[in-house]
């Protein structure tokens, strides 16, 4: 970061004066460009100065206050761009949360609101401080000794969100429940040795241990869970892998301008927030000589991992990984050749630590192209003429580590107009220790005396649609068998029944395999060549239902996981499936609350929310590190284009065999 003071700031142009008085001009090219490091620092210092903030105030997030949709959609190059930051602050001393909006352009605070009774999500600094406070606590050290742990430095403390369980002592406090594991040496995999039965409950405002819950002393499982050749003698690396190189001798086919990406006929912007991670904006596809809009904004609106274990140790484990932990702030720095192959363009993610200092995650976002097999093919068997086209996709992604688990979020764009979100789940299982001979009803023994509780991972994606314009509808499509009778002489006929979802409360829908139920987003005002409203279908992949009861804390706080689809009327304040402040929230917020208004959603500016769930009955193969599980959904054009939009793909060039092994080239 450049040290210096900000000088003139007019329109979208920041003139920055460095210590050497060199003026650097940062041109903001679009109202949705994320805040630069300089702008974030400016917003923080405006708040610190004008509100005279003390050291006890933490910055939970500083992000671009996105301009109104109308402003963005009508923006023309050269228009004045007002730059604003949206900030959430937590005062540890007064234990109060504030929201602020700062005009960076005008150097003033335009909103300052006290938000009573809420807890912002965890901040990274809190994790580190919490771990230290627990380890330094004498009562905790005693509990460790009871378990034969003499060196607290080898203990791993994972602060888990407390959820809401009506515990009087926790009421109004900022609480973390610290679960613990122990390493046998500094590079050991501690998740092999859970300190089951021991939970330190920490007040994060006072940064002190409130109480220690000690349910049982369990023996440490006998085997290590090491997974690298350096730490495990049992891993002999296979030696038969030949290099696989991705070569793009002329470079990639995409163009990048700030956070604006053009690739083939796709055109979109992206940003990155500490809570949501990667966000897509103004996604469109070039067709009929113009860019036809598809999505205004697409983001991870929440993620919930409910555990299905009944024991005191695990029965309150429900991690809201976006709203409580901040998927974006937990992003990894990616490495070329390891995380991503080929011609890669990386982007940094810029945010703050809780003190408001700039924190940059280098190479947090990866952009690259991938070969994706066959786009389309036909062989004319009479003439033996073959037409085949290769498919390529553009992938923009990031990976985040949430304590034991690792999640990759991959948006892909295909040449046939399809979009896809794929989540990759890997990393470490959450574990507990078992007594010798003990079995858990609610988990799998993945190694001797090591239990991995059953759980689920729910992801909700908020899709602010913009199919050929902001007024859209959602149509549910069910396939039904034709009735029996003379009109169906061989009882084979089937047809579809379509129903437009008109109100928010009727737009809480679930998948149904029996009717091949799908949902299509349509624009009733824009018709295709055969007179149908243009549309994009949500193509679900793997999915599941929750198993917690309706009166459970989990369902009250994350009711959205009961349905795979929600549709709401657009409101720029409604961004999160379980509400803005899910941390320690009792429930009833988010989609539950948004839909209460039961607004009209037919031919309106609507938002489509898709929930997908990975049902994780743990396996021995998931240990000691989990092979990646993939879960996805697609947005597929259905009547959006008049015909296959990938007809214009050029023929691939036939290659001669390059193999050095002659026998492989022979037919
Ligand atoms: Cu899992």
pLDDT tens profile 76-123 = 999 999 999 999 999 999 999 999 999 999 999 999 999 999 999 999
Q: If pLDDT is split at 50, 70 and 90, which confidence band does 19 have?
A: very low
Three-state secondary-structure class, residue 114:
strand
Query: Looking at per-residue confidence, does 142 or 6 come out higher?
Result: 142
Tell me if 646 sits within 8 A of 544, measured CB to CB: no
DSSP secondary structure code for residue 134 in this structure = H
The three state secondary structure string of 352-376 is ECCCCCEEEEEEEEEEEEEEEEEEE
**Cα of 429 from ligand 1 centre, angstroms:** 7
Given this model, what pLDDT does residue 661 score? 63
Q: If we measure between CA atoms, which residue out of 176, 179, 175, 177 comes closest to residue 155?
A: 179
Alpha helices in 77-167 (DSSP H): 124-136, 138-146
pLDDT of residue 663: 63
Q: How far apart are CA 577 and CA 589, in angstroms?
A: 8
* Secondary structure class of 168 (helix, strand, coil): helix
Compute the average pLDDT of residues 340-357.
95
Which among 405, 407, 594, 610 is annotated as catalytic?
405
98 a catalytic residue: no
Q: What SS3 class is residue 72?
A: helix
Q: How many Å lie between the centroid of ligand 1 and the Cα of residue 389?
A: 37
Is 594 an annotated catalytic residue?
Answer: no
Q: What are the backbone dihedrals phi and psi of residue 478, each rounded to the nearest 5 degrees, phi first?
A: -115, 135
Mean pLDDT score of the chain: 94
pLDDT more than 70, % of the chain: 94
Average pLDDT over residues 1-26: 40
Band of the pLDDT at 336, cuts 50, 70, 90? confident
Segment 310-330 shows an average pLDDT of 94
> Which residue in the block uniquely carries the two structure tokens 């190189």?
245
Ligand 1 midpoint to CA 430 (Å): 8
What separation in Å is there between the alpha carbon of 386 and the centre of ligand 1? 44
Ligand 1 mean position, distance from CA 368 (Å): 27
Query: Distance from the CA of 325 to the center of ligand 1, in angstroms?
Result: 17
pLDDT in tens, 206-262: 999 999 999 999 999 999 999 999 999 999 999 999 999 999 999 999 999 999 999
How many whole angstroms from 165 Cα to the centroid of ligand 1? Answer: 23
Kindly name the residue from 170, 224, 267, 321 that is annotated as catalytic: 321
SS3 label, residue 135: helix
pLDDT average, residue stretch 490-502: 98
Distance 455 CA to ligand 1 centre (A): 6
Contact 79, 286 (CB under 8 A): no
Which pair of tokens denotes residue 115?
């938000």
Alpha carbon of 541 to ligand 1 centroid (Å) = 17
For residue 654, is pLDDT > 90? no
Tell me the whole-structure pTM to 2 decimals: 0.94
Dist. CA 86 → ligand 1 center (Å): 33
* pLDDT score for 287: 97
pLDDT at 1 over 70: no
Is the model's pLDDT at 12 over the cut of 60?
no
Q: Is the pLDDT of residue 36 over 90?
A: yes
**For residue 6, what pLDDT band results from cuts at 50, 70 and 90?**
very low
pLDDT at site 659: 58
Q: What is the pLDDT of residue 666?
A: 59
């Amino acid at each position: 970061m450049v040290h210096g003071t900000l000088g003139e700031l007019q329109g979208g142009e920041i003139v920055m004066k460095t210590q050497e008085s060199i003026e650097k001009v940062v041109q903001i090219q679009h109202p949705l460009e994320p805040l630069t490091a300089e702008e974030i620092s400016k917003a923080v210092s405006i708040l610190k100065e004008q509100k005279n903030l003390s050291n006890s105030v933490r910055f939970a997030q500083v992000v671009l206050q996105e301009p109104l949709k109308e402003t963005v959609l009508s923006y023309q190059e050269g228009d004045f761009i007002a730059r604003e930051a949206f900030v959430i602050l937590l005062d540890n001393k007064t234990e109060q949360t504030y929201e602020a909006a700062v005009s960076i352009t005008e150097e003033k605070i335009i909103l300052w609101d006290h938000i009573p009774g809420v807890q912002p999500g965890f901040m990274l600094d809190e994790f580190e401080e919490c771990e230290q406070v627990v380890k330094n606590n004498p009562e905790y050290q005693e509990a460790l000794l009871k378990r034969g742990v003499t060196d607290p430095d080898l203990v791993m403390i994972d602060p888990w969100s407390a959820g809401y369980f009506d515990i009087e002592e926790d009421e109004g406090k900022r609480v973390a429940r610290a679960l613990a594991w122990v390493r046998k040496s500094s590079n050991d995999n501690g998740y092999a040795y859970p300190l089951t039965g021991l939970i330190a409950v920490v007040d994060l405002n006072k940064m002190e241990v409130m109480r220690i819950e000690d349910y049982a002393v369990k023996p440490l499982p006998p085997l290590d869970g090491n997974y690298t050749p350096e730490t495990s003698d049992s891993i002999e690396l296979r030696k038969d892998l030949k290099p696989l190189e991705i070569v793009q001798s002329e470079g990639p086919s995409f163009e990048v301008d700030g956070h604006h990406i053009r690739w083939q006929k796709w055109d979109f912007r992206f940003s990155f927030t500490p809570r949501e991670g990667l966000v897509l904006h103004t996604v469109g596809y070039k067709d009929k000589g113009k860019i036809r809009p598809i999505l205004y904004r697409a983001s991870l609106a929440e993620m919930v991992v409910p555990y299905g274990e009944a024991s005191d140790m695990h029965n309150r484990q429900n991690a809201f990984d976006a709203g409580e932990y901040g998927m974006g702030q937990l992003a990894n720095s990616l490495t070329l050749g390891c995380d991503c192959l080929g011609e890669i363009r990386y982007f940094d993610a810029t945010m703050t630590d809780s003190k408001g200092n700039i924190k940059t995650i280098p190479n947090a976002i990866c952009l690259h192209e991938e070969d994706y097999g066959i786009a389309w093919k036909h062989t004319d068997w009479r003439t033996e003429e073959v037409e085949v086209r290769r498919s390529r996709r553009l992938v923009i992604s990031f990976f985040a580590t949430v304590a034991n688990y690792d999640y990759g979020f991959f948006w892909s764009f295909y040449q046939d107009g399809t979009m896809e979100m794929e989540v990759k789940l890997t990393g470490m299982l959450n574990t507990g220790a078992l007594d010798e001979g003990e079995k858990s009803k609610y988990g799998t023994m993945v190694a001797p005396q090591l239990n991995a509780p059953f759980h689920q991972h729910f992801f909700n994606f908020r899709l602010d649609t913009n199919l050929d314009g902001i007024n859209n509808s959602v149509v549910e499509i069910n396939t039904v068998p034709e009735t029996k009778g003379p009109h169906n002489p061989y009882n084979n006929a089937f047809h579809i029944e379509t129903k437009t979802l008109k109100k928010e409360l009727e737009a809480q829908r679930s998948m149904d395999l029996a009717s091949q139920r799908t949902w299509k987003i349509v624009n009733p005002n824009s018709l295709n060549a055969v007179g149908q409203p243009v549309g994009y279908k949500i193509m679900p992949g793997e999915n599941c239902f929750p198993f917690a009861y309706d009166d459970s804390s989990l369902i009250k706080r994350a009711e959205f996981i009961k349905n795979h689809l929600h549709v709401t009327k657009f409101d720029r304040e409604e961004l999160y499936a379980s509400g803005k402040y899910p941390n320690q929230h009792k429930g009833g917020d988010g989609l539950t609350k948004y839909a209460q208004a039961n607004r009209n959603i037919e031919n309106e500016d609507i938002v489509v929310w898709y929930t997908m769930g990975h049902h994780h009955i743990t396996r021995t193969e998931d240990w000691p590190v989990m092979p990646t599980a993939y879960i996805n959904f697609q947005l597929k054009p259905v009547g959006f284009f008049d015909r296959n939009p990938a007809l214009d793909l050029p023929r691939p060039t036939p290659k001669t065999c390059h193999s050095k092994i002659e026998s492989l080239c022979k037919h």
